[in-house]
């Protein structure tokens, strides 16, 4: 409830979206948590921990193993682009 105004004021802050994902995940709102993590990765694609968390949510909680695999593939591709 308090975070939504901050997200509206500063939608480009990945850290706010990451916090939003944590709150939603803790509340059992897995779809909303996944959407928040997707936004984090849109803003800051190099965040490995958030990629892994999103893949875990997609696979374990939302039963979307194909989407989880795509998240991990994108993470691996970004890592190889850095090298």
Question: Once rounded to an integer, what is the mean pLDDT over residues 46-62?
Answer: 97
User: 36-49: b or e for each residue (b if 16 or more CB lie within 10 Å)?
Assistant: bbbbbbebebebee
Q: pTM of the prediction?
A: 0.92
> Which residue, 78, 43, 39, 73, is CA-closest to 55?
73
Coil vs helix vs strand at 83: coil
Whole-number CA gyration radius for the chain: 13
pLDDT tens, position by position, 2-43 = 788 989 999 999 999 999 999 999 999 999 999 999 999 999
């Amino acid at each position: 409830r308090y975070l939504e105004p901050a997200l509206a004021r500063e939608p480009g802050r990945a850290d706010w979206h990451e916090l939003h994902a944590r709150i939603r995940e803790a509340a059992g709102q897995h779809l909303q948590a996944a959407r928040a993590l997707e936004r984090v990765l849109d803003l800051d694609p190099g965040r490995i921990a958030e990629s892994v968390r999103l893949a875990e949510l997609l696979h374990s909680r939302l039963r979307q193993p194909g989407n989880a695999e795509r998240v991990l593939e994108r993470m691996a591709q970004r890592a190889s682009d850095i090298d």
